[in-house]
Amino acid sequence: MIEISITKEMIPVQQSDETQTNNGSELQFYGRVRGIEDNQIIIAIDYEYYPGMAENELQKLGEKTIDKFAISKLSCIHRVGKIPVGETSLRIIIWSKHRRAGLDAMEWFISQMKKDVPIWKNAILKDSSKISSKCQC
Amino acid sequence: MIRLHVLNFSLVKDALGKKNIIITMNNGVTVKQLLEKVRAMNKQKLDGLPIRVAVNQLYVNENYTLRNEDQVALIPPVSGG
């Protein structure tokens, strides 16, 4: 099962799902906006995306991940727009029977997302100027 | 002639100064030829920048033949997360 979404709203912390009784592993990953980008102090990141294609690419990536690894469920929310330092930009949760498949799937999903999903970072400095962030693949 | 709706993102948008542009080209034009034309618009800023292309929201290669009214996205290296 795959749940994918892109939102302009804050991403809430997710309580552990104790109904997943067949899955011994639940991994939650939160990506947050750092206060330093390219050795400069920033106040936020403005995430630009390609509406429609970004969702489709995330969905396709989720399907590939489920096919490639022994995981049961993958949930991914990516926030876009202006996100202040410290707030969550990305939340991924993966449920699997055993931890190894979940850990491998998480690493692979994030690495592929940073290659294929049309989302870009623009860091905003204190003086409101912007710098396009380089991919830290 | 065909008319292409070109969407520019991130560094490509910065270089060309516009989010959307309409480009008219000859029938049978490929993605490679479109990229050559776009790079010629602002060679300095786009020089050396890898650009992937999506047509109607699907990635295509440089040999893909474009059609009238295609939506063509110019996608520089992505950086989500």
Q: Which residue has the tokens 């959307």?
A: B20
Q: B81 to chain A: nearest residue by CA?
A: A90
Q: How many domains does chain B have?
A: 1
Q: Which amino acid is located at A81 in the chain?
A: G
- Give yes or no for residue B64 having a pLDDT over 80: yes
Residue B53 lies in a domain: yes
Distances from the Cα of A65 to the Cαs of A37, A62, A68, A107, B77, in angstroms? Answer: 29, 5, 5, 10, 22
pLDDT at position A137: 47
CATH number of A2-10+23-127: 3.90.1170.40
Euclidean distance between CA atoms B81 and A58, whole angstroms: 12
- Give yes or no for residue B14 having a pLDDT over 50: yes
- Find the helix or strand (DSSP H, E) in which B10 lies: helix B10-16
**Residue A121: strand, helix, or coil:** strand
The mean pLDDT of chain A is: 94
- Is ipTM over 0.95? no
Q: What CATH number did the domain enclosing B10 receive?
A: 3.10.20.30
Residue B6 lies in a domain: yes
Domain that holds residue B63: 2-75
Q: B10 to chain A: nearest residue by CA?
A: A120
Residue B80 lies in a domain: no
pLDDT (mean) for A81-98: 97
Least Cα distance to A118 among B33, B51, B65 occurs for B51
Residue B39 lies in a domain: yes
Euclidean distance between CA atoms A25 and A94, whole angstroms: 8
pLDDT at position A90: 98
Q: Which residue has the tokens 């009238």?
A: B68
pLDDT (mean) for B8-34: 95
Residue B40 lies in a domain: yes
User: Do residue B9 and residue A53 have CB atoms under 8 angstroms apart?
Assistant: no
Helix H segments across A1-137? 53-68, 99-116
Q: Is B60 on the interface with A (CB under 8 A)?
A: no
Residues of chain B in contact with residue A90, where contact means CB-CB under 8 angstroms, are 80-81
pLDDT (mean) for A97-124: 97
Which residues share a beta bridge with A76? A4, A92
Q: Are the C-beta atoms of A96 and A72 separated by less than 8 Å?
A: yes
Give per-residue pLDDT as tens, A34-73: 999 888 999 999 999 999 999 999 999 999 999 999 999 9
